[in-house]
Amino acid sequence: MIEQNNTHFISLQGTFNTRDLGGYQTESGKYVKKNRLFRSDDLYKLTISDIKWFEDHGLTTVIDFRNFNERKNRPDKIIKGVKYYDLSPDDETAALASADLKSDKKKIDKLIEKKKQNKLDLTGDGLKKSMVGFVRDSETQKLYRQVLEIHIKENNDVILQHCRGGKDRTGYGSALVLLALGVSEDDVISDYMLTAKYNADRNKRRMNEYRKYTKDPVVLKYLSNAMSTRKEVIEAGINEMKKISVSPIQYIQNELGFDKDKISYLRSIYLR
């Protein structure tokens, strides 16, 4: 359940998918505090007024899931007093879908070569496989466990998670935090799917940019699939947690090693 009159979207000039995770009700009847937990696309184009918005809202921590090349090509704007963590799961599908205009030609040439080798997955299952990989891969488990640990370092932290488009890498990180706080699976899925709404115009523009470099329908379909936000992707991740540990909260405890005491502490910080 979502708190009445709650608005998650934050309208900034330099981003298109910045949202507040506050306002979701938990199984205990409490609500996630507003203005404490944010998710976003990258912070490369933040304006002076955007930066001031984050400063005024007390942002202390940014978790950046982008890989090295993404960060090099589109470095985050620096916000005064903020600590930055680079924690990249280095997911090829997500990074490929999120590359910037400067690398479009190179990216499309690579996809054309993959097509010749019959290595392009046009079912859209690449994103599902990536999400399941986030759940199962031992190194990625360590990375997302660190995400949870960062959330309990300080009682007064205001934290933003982001990648390039704020979809899958950030979607999974945000889902873990909400699940650990006791938010229902339905609301976690709903939160993930808000990206489809806020990325729609951006995705349309990106597809028009891709068409400057190729008319190949197979390559264009692959790119469209990679940018899409689909319910079954986050569901695949949640279902994989259940396969491994019966429930998402037990997965967080057993596989990520974020135990009951830490979950209780997390909730004491971010719930009201």
The CATH number given to whatever domain includes residue 100 is 3.90.190.10
**pLDDT exceeding 90 applies to what percent of the chain?**
80
pLDDT tens across 215-244, in order?
A: 999 999 989 988 899 999 999 999 999 999
Is residue 6 in a domain? no
Contact by Cβ (8 Å): 9, 2:
no
Q: State whether residue 130 is helix, strand or coil.
A: helix
> What is the average pLDDT score of the chain?
92
Q: How many CB atoms lie within 10 A of CB 170?
A: 28
Is residue 14 in a domain? no
Is residue 76 in a domain? yes
R_g (Cα) of the chain, nearest Å: 18
Predicted structure pTM score: 0.90
pLDDT tens across 194-222, in order?
A: 999 999 999 999 999 999 999 999 999 98
Does residue 98 register a pLDDT over 60? Answer: no
pLDDT tens across 17-72, in order?
A: 999 999 999 999 999 999 999 999 999 999 999 999 999 999 999 999 999 989 99
Collect all residues with Cβ–Cβ distance below 8 Å to 223 and sequence separation of at least 6: 97, 111, 206, 207, 210
- Alpha-carbon distance 118 to 111, whole Å? 10
Is residue 10 in a domain? no
Is residue 90 in a domain? yes
Q: Which residue has the tokens 């999400």?
A: 131
Tell me which residue range forms the domain holding 78: 19-270
Structural element, H or E, at residue 26: none
- Alpha-carbon distance 141 to 118, whole Å? 31
pLDDT of residue 107: 84
Is residue 192 in a domain? yes
Is residue 144 in a domain? yes
- Alpha-carbon distance 216 to 194, whole Å? 30
Is residue 9 in a domain? no
> What's the domain count of the chain?
1
pLDDT tens across 121-160, in order?
A: 777 688 999 999 999 999 999 999 999 999 999 999 999 9
